Amino acid sequence: MFNDSLKQLSERLANREISSVELTTEFLRRIGKLNPQYNAFITVDEEKSLAQARHADQKIAAGETGPLTGIPIAQKDIFCAKGWLTTCGSKMLSNFVSPYDADVIERFNRAGAINIGKTNMDEFAMGSSNETSYFGPVRNPWDAAAVPGGSSGGSACAVAARMAPAATGTDTGGSIRQPAALCGISGIKPTYGAVSRYGMIAFASSLDQGGPMAKSAEDLALMLNVMTGFDERDSTSLQREKEDYGRDLSKPLSGLRIGLPREYFAKGMSSDVEKAIEQALDEYRRLGAETVEVSLPNSPLSIPVYYVLAPAEASSNLSRFDGVRYGYRAQAFQDLAEMYRNTRAEGFGAEVKRRILIGTYVLSHGYYDAYYIKAQKLRRLIAQDFKNAFKQCDVIMGPTTPAVAFDLGEKSSDPIQMYLSDIYTSAANLAGLPGMSIPVGFGDKMRPVGLHIIGDYFSEARMLNIAHQYQLVTDWHQRAPDL
Amino acid sequence: MQWEIVIGLEVHTQLSTQSKIFSGASTAYGALPNTQASFVDLALPGVLPVLNRGAVERAIKFGLAVNATINSPSIFARKNYFYPDLPKGYQISQYERPIVEGGSIAIQVGETEKTIRLTRAHLEEDAGKSLHEDFHGMSGIDLNRAGTPLLEIVSEPDLRSSAEAVAYAKTLHALVRWIGICDGNMQEGSFRCDANVSVRPRGQEKYGTRCEIKNLNSFRFLEKAIDFEVERQIEILEEGGSIRQETRLFDANKGETRTMRTKEDANDYRYFPDPDLLPVEIAPDWIEQLRVSLPELPQARRERYVTEYGLSGYDAAVLTSSREMADYFEAAAKQLPERVKLCANWIMGDISARLNRDGLDIGECPVGPAHVAQLINRIQDGTISGKAAKTVFESLWQGEQGQDVDAIIEAKGLKQMSDNSALEKLIDDVLAANAQQVADYRGGKEKAFNALVGQVMKAAQGKANPAQVNAMLKEKLG
């Protein structure tokens, strides 16, 4: 049952083979068993989850069901959920109980899904290993010595360890795709604006995008159907007609043109990852796709551009955490300035402070043009690269990460090395394009490898089709660590 | 040395929208602290701003009224600084591409008209309020005002005296009320001025170092603060000192300005475009729609009063100081096209004085323009004297006789003697009784004539028409 797809679980519920309360209880039990070791969840609230499950069972009894009714979903702790502790992985919000629901949470509630718990994450989504969480690191279910990736490491771990059938994540520079790759699950960051940011605690507003993490492309489609949609409370939300992301899943792939960026395959990729990626591409060729070489000449700039723009926005977004109205406030201070200083010095972790400092610096008088404006210009060039590439291909593929999961502590003292984990993923955020990762095998130390798929704007249904067809002929996505 | 004063004003006008600029919370004044602060106003984690279209509309109306450029797209920017009453740690304002750029406003100082250029007008949100009393050494924060829409209107340094600054502020105040974008309530902070003041030797092109005086919430304070500041600066310069660029606060009790912060401790606000708000695209037909909806503007009316009615520039300016005043005047003038000047005098004189006495606006005047026209008519046709008219006006004000002018005249016996024979008899009696004055007059003493008029008027108990008495006396005395 823990390995069931969302569709299978939904069928079991519909057949009354199992009730939502029973299902929820099973998952809560598994969380109780595994979480002490893996630390995927910051908050689990059995009472709240079971109350939702009871409500879902009533709906099922009344025949008012949707595809996710009664199914437990893990929610990244970046999404505000009414009555739930919502910490964003930070000491700063370690006491913050949200008085309202994020748009994403509302949508899952309306769909009758069960919030099975709030997942661990890098502090304010800043990190690629989940080691910056105030609530301790998450461990990779495939190898407890390895990091799960980040920032949605708790969600990736929860799905990979089968503590939840599916989870939500957010992706600012790769925070859904990188942990999905490192934990051997599927994850998609849709086109910027597809998922409302209302109630999703902001890291870098112009890059942040919520998305689902699950075992398969098929499950991702069901999750996206619930998560996406116009929200007037988010001015950057896309006003588009509701679509069924699963509509094209079964289309054959013959004639598909897969673009392979020269720059992604040139250097930097470790050989074990390369081997798994090549095998996946061979599988695609067997499915009728052809591969063409494309070029993204500005892609080497995406990390420096990202590390100017994201911290710039973050430095401003995180100003509200000042100890005045909610959240952590320092105990000792003499005056207002000291209250701010002590609160923020004690409430934020090192990585968050580093980014606030970088962001403050690049926005400062005299540096703004050289950094922020320059980065914005390069951002447009990076987006233009993709536009050109999509004239030659339907999707772009490559590795999600340059290497498999690294060990805990391995990169935590070297921020530059850590930042390079997002080398392949951050360009999609800068361009606003949809990107996904699916498991395509194992590399060194039997740690998972993820295939990165970047599509054109609004091509999520096509991307899910491409992933699903692969998953029909392979079983990497069904592999689970033996826990 | 001769000094020239240079002033530029920054005016924060609160736009009259029902809800805040980026949230749905009410903007109504005077509610209990923090009862009108939504999750967005409180800057809870995860909330986002959504622009209030009504605020944009009001800004566009202003831009059109001052002949400015309406920028499209217009961009919102974050102004970053920490203060407890600024919940997000940044204020959403505009930096590059403000919604309104350029434009000008004509002001009237005495009989001189002057054009003041505007730099820009941009939309922004107001901060909350810090309350430093009653909290036992702590401060209270009221976020009701946080997120209230403001239009900050910035003038070029075109003003050359406190009188000009006040005239500009008053004209602007009248304009924003006229076009219905701001209630202009200065006590409630709906219209707040900051003044940038500097002085320079007359003839020098380069501006002197300026000081900014903050939060001047009445025209009188504006004038006093500028006068004080100008004197302070001149004194320093004449003693060989130099002006330090700084922000100063006006102390209304002491009538002086004092340092608030110097340029050295000025914030680096780190403005950058707000990624939560898309650039605002303003379609040309939206602008056209708003242009059509604008009423005839004070400047146009002022010009019309001068050309059409032959009023002086000063009178025209006074009569267009508010839309209610101008509408009142025009309603009266329409009924008395031949007596427009008299209407103007009545409104600027007796009516304004009476309104002042009761602290009322002309919009609240208990005597309507139709009654005033009727009253003026009765003076013109000789039914009552000008003096009696004041009595009638007071009766109208009190609502006597159902505000029927003729009924009041009748009831109070204020009708003038228009009957020539009765007046003639009266004059004859006076002449007979004052032979000496008659002789004096005939002997060349002009003054004696006035005395005789006075006697006749007295005998007529004020009901005689002085012009008529004059004419008849002259005739009789030949």
pLDDT tens for A373-398 read 999 999 999 999 999 999 999 999 99
| Alpha-carbon gap, residue A241 to A220, rounded angstroms | 19
Residue B292: its pLDDT value, please? 96
In the structure encoding, which two tokens stand for residue B270, read together? 């780190």
Q: With contact defined as beta carbons under 8 Å apart, do B222 and B3 qualify?
A: no
Yes or no, beta carbons of B50 and A232 under 8 Å apart: yes
Nearest CA in chain A to B81: A319
- Closest to A167 in 3D by CA, of A26, A73, A46: A73
* B370-423 pLDDT, tens digit each: 999 999 988 888 888 888 889 999 999 998 888 888 889 888 888 877 667 777
Burial class for B58, CB neighbours closer than 10 Å (0-12, 13-18, 19+): buried
Mean pLDDT, range B313-325, rounded to an integer: 92
Which chain B residues have a beta carbon less than 8 Å from that of A320?
Answer: 43, 45, 87-89
Which of A199, A319, A372 is closest, CB to CB, to B90? Answer: A319
Yes or no, beta carbons of B270 and A316 under 8 Å apart: yes
- Closest to B165 in 3D by CA, of B194, B191, B136, B186: B194
Q: With contact defined as beta carbons under 8 Å apart, do B67 and B176 qualify?
A: no
Q: With contact defined as beta carbons under 8 Å apart, do A339 and B248 qualify?
A: no
* B416-444 pLDDT, tens digit each: 776 677 778 888 888 888 888 888 888 88
Q: How many CB atoms lie within 10 A of CB A309?
A: 27
Distance in Å, alpha carbon of A316 to nearest chain B alpha carbon: 7
Mean pLDDT of chain A: 97
Tell me the HSE value of A89 on the side-chain side, using a 13 A CA sphere.
Answer: 36
Mean pLDDT, range B354-358, rounded to an integer: 92
Which chain A residues have a beta carbon less than 8 Å from that of B277?
Answer: 235
Residue B418: its pLDDT value, please? 65
User: CA angle, B206 as apex, B201 and B207 as ends, to 5°?
Assistant: 75
| Number of continuous H segments (helices) and E segments (strands) in chain B | 16, 15
Q: Is the dihedral of CA B290, B296, B297, B300 positive or negative?
A: positive
At the top level of CATH, which class does the domain A6-255 belong to?
alpha beta
Yes or no, beta carbons of B45 and A313 under 8 Å apart: no
Which of B39, B43, B270 is closest, CB to CB, to A363? Answer: B270
* A239-266 pLDDT, tens digit each: 999 999 999 999 999 999 999 999 999 7
Mean pLDDT, range B316-336, rounded to an integer: 92
All CATH 1.10.10.410 domain ranges of chain B, comma separated, are 420-477
Mean pLDDT of chain B: 92
According to DSSP, the β-strands at B211-216 and B191-201 are antiparallel
pLDDT higher than 80, residue B264: no
Amino acid (1-letter code) at residue A35: N
Give catalytic residue positions of A: 76, 151, 175
For chain A, the domains span 6-255
Which of A98, A205, A364 is closest, CB to CB, to B276? Answer: A205
Q: Which residues, in sequence order, are bridge partners of residue B142?
A: B129
Q: How many CB atoms lie within 10 A of CB A266?
A: 9
Choosing among A97, A363, A372, A379, which should be mutated to test the B contact, i.e. which has the most B CBs within 10 A? A363
Yes or no, beta carbons of B44 and A200 under 8 Å apart: no
Residue B22: its pLDDT value, please? 98
pLDDT higher than 70, residue B72: yes
Yes or no, beta carbons of A326 and B275 under 8 Å apart: no
In the structure encoding, which two tokens stand for residue A98, read together? 């949200």
Q: H or E stretch including B339?
A: none
Q: How many CB atoms lie within 10 A of CB A482?
A: 6
| pLDDT band per the 50, 70, 90 thresholds, residue B215 | confident
Which chain A residues have a beta carbon less than 8 Å from that of B52?
Answer: none
- Count how many pairs of residues, chain A against chain B, have C-beta atoms within 8 Å: 97
Yes or no, beta carbons of A233 and B272 under 8 Å apart: no
Q: 3-class DSSP state for residue B280? A: strand
Picking from A221-225, A443-447, B108-112, B284-288, which range would have the lowest pLDDT averaged per residue? B108-112
Q: A411 or A452, which is more confident?
A: A452
According to DSSP, the β-strands at B246-251 and B211-216 are parallel
Q: B379 or A438, which is more confident?
A: A438
Distance in Å, alpha carbon of A85 to nearest chain B alpha carbon: 12
Yes or no, beta carbons of B84 and A324 under 8 Å apart: yes
Residues of A in CB contact (< 8 Å) with B are: 79-80, 86, 88, 93, 96, 98-100, 102, 197-202, 204-206, 232-236, 312-313, 315-316, 318-322, 324-327, 336, 340, 360, 363-365, 368, 372
Yes or no, beta carbons of B88 and A320 under 8 Å apart: yes
Burial class for A321, CB neighbours closer than 10 Å (0-12, 13-18, 19+): buried
Distance in Å, alpha carbon of A135 to nearest chain B alpha carbon: 19
Residue B266: its pLDDT value, please? 73
Q: With contact defined as beta carbons under 8 Å apart, do A166 and A223 qualify?
A: yes
Amino acid (1-letter code) at residue B253: N
CATH fit for domain B420-477, picks 1.10.10.410, 2.60.120.920, 3.50.50.60, 1.10.1370.10? 1.10.10.410
**Reported ipTM:** 0.96
In the structure encoding, which two tokens stand for residue B134, read together? 């009653």
Yes or no, beta carbons of A368 and B272 under 8 Å apart: yes
Burial class for B257, CB neighbours closer than 10 Å (0-12, 13-18, 19+): buried
* A76-125 pLDDT, tens digit each: 999 999 999 999 999 999 999 999 999 999 999 999 999 999 999 999 99
